[in-house]
Amino acid sequence: MKRALITGITGQDGAYLAEFLLEKGYEVHGLKRRSSLINTQRINHLYEEPQTPGRRFYLHYGDMTDSTNLIRVIQEVQPDEIYNLAAQSHVKVSFESPEYTANADALGTLRILEAIRILKLADKTRFYQASTSELFGKAAEVPQRETTPFYPRSPYAAAKVYAYWITVNYREAYGIFASNGILFNHESPIRGETFVTRKITRAVARIKLGLQEKLYLGNLDAIRDWGYAKDYVRAMWMILNHSEPDDFVIATGEGHSVREFVEKAFKVVDIEIEWLGRGVDEKGIDAKTGRVLVEIDPRYFRPTEVDILIGDSTKARKILGWEPTVTFEQLVKIMVESDLLEAEKELILRSKGFAFQHSYVD
Ligand code: NDP
Ligand code: GDR
């Protein structure tokens, strides 16, 4: 039985990857940081009692900023594969917490690679690094491929550039099977609520059911290549189980603006959006009623923006045989429908007189 260690197991990708590896018969270990509130919502369905015979799912307390803890967990687990998904992953937040982002995202990656080296696991343990299309930033070409030069545009992206190169360096210097998956944006019903896709689908569902008035957004012109997270965790496994360590772009090859995402999401609930005005005065109105549903709030603008990311994943398609299975339209529909169910739950709670605590989503 293969043993995998996933850092960031409580996040979107960590949860889907854990499910995927358990289905493949792996023993799965996850690194979870201590939190004052429960942070395992995405993986609670995978939990096994410690007494369960043939148990294959384990969690370990840990943090990417704590070397000794990482060394101890890796020593205990002796993993065949490490998927390094833990990160302060929000681009806008990285401008507020640049030093922490560098510590967790850049040095955190180094700490794991060093642990593999110190524990003499270089011949046993394969290492996957969660690299990102944000490496390309203000890219010199569209679409972006493995050979496109990096031009990071945020503290997050700069930290991930370090993580990318230290992964390549440990592969070349110490012969570790270490690979980068350069993944473009990927989304799902369990995407964090402050990323733009989930913020939109959640708001559309709540507006449709009368729980919310408006959606405030930043730059509507940004173009992203949005895929489905389950397709992307499969790519991570394919990258680590290839015969050679290598770096791969994973993307759908299709770009859409934030504005288009908004239109498509409202369409799922039969609302046609019309746009009026320009720049910060732009508004999205319900074409039938004239009600303003979308407004711009400059607080969501970034000091430096990434205008257009569209990936060319020809290399992964040819060498790994990876293909995405979910289209942009399907993705938007999957997310809106799931958020409609969440909004319905909220309505039921309210109708029964339970004061519903609105969660802080900014
Ligand atoms: P999430 O933000 O959903 O999850 C991040 C995970 O990292 C969470 O489990 C979080 O724990 C954990 N984490 C954060 N800081 C630390 C720390 N200091 N120590 C230990 N754990 C920590 O991200 P995604 O699942 O979307 O992304 C997974 C990885 O892939 C990230 O590295 C991200 O940067 C990268 N990536 C994501 C893309 C995407 O479109 N989703 C695209 C390309 C790359 P907690 O739950 O406690 O907060
Ligand atoms: P991104 O994702 O920065 O691409 O990073 P995000 O969804 O945060 O932003 C995408 C684009 O939408 C614009 N935008 C807004 N973004 C947010 N979050 N909130 C808003 O209100 C809003 N309005 C407009 C942004 O300016 C941006 O252009 C994600 C993360 O998962 C990273 O960890 C990962 O590496 C990259 O994707 C690939």
Q: How do residues 133-165 score in pLDDT, each as one tens digit? A: 999 999 999 999 999 999 999 999 999 999 999
Asked about 151 being catalytic, the answer comes back as no
What is the reported pTM? 0.98
Q: Above 80 in pLDDT, residue 361? A: no
Testing ligand 1's pocket by substitution, the residue of 36, 40, 89 carrying the most ligand atoms inside 8 A of its CB is: 89
Is there a catalytic annotation at residue 156?
yes
- Per-residue model confidence as pLDDT tens digits over 192-239: 999 999 999 999 999 999 999 999 999 999 999 999 999 999 999 999
Provide the pLDDT for residue 125: 98
Q: How many A from CA of 7 to the centre of ligand 1?
A: 8
For this structure, is 125 an active site residue? no
Is residue 89 within 6 Å of ligand 1 at its C-beta? yes
Protein residue with its CA nearest to atom 19 in ligand 1: 63
Residue 185 near ligand 2, beta carbon < 6 Å: yes
Looking at domain 196-223+256-305+326-351, its CATH class is alpha beta
The catalytic position among 10, 125, 132, 148 is: 132
- Residue 279 Cα to ligand 1 midpoint, Å, equals 32
Is 11 close to ligand 1, i.e. is its CB under 6 Å away? yes
The residue among 306, 310, 318, 169 whose CA lies nearest residue 251 is 310
Taking CA atoms only, the protein residue closest to ligand 2 atom 21 is 217
95 pocket-lining for ligand 2 (C-beta < 6 Å): no
Ligand 2 atom 12: residue of nearest CA:
196
107 C-alpha vs ligand 1 centroid, how far in Å?
A: 15
pLDDT exceeds cutoff 90 at 242:
yes
Q: Is 186 in the pocket of ligand 2 (CB under 6 A)?
A: no
Task: Express each pLDDT in 54-107 by its tens digit.
Answer: 999 999 999 999 999 999 999 999 999 999 999 999 999 999 999 999 999 999
Is any ligand 2 atom within 6 A of the Cβ of residue 305? yes
Contact assessment for residue 5 and residue 79, using Cβ atoms and an 8 Å cutoff: yes
pLDDT in tens, 19-38: 999 999 999 999 999 999 99
The residue whose CA has the least distance to atom 23 of ligand 2 is 218
pLDDT of amino acid 30 = 98
pLDDT digits (tens, 9 = 90+) for 262-312: 999 999 999 999 999 999 999 999 999 999 999 999 999 999 999 999 999
Q: Which of 50-54, 221-225, 318-322 has the lowest mean pLDDT?
A: 50-54
Fold of 3-188+226-250: Rossmann fold (3.40.50)
Which ligand is nearest the CA of 63, by number? 1
> For residue 79, what are its two tokens?
């993993």
Residue nearest to atom 44 of ligand 1 (CA): 132
* Selected catalytic residue, list 128, 156, 164, 228: 156
Exposure class string for 219-243: b at 16+ Cβ within 10 A, else e: bbebbbbbbbbbbbbbbbbbbbebe
Domain-by-domain residue ranges, the chain? 3-188+226-250, 196-223+256-305+326-351
For residue 358, what are the contacts with CB-CB under 8 A and spacing of at least 6? none
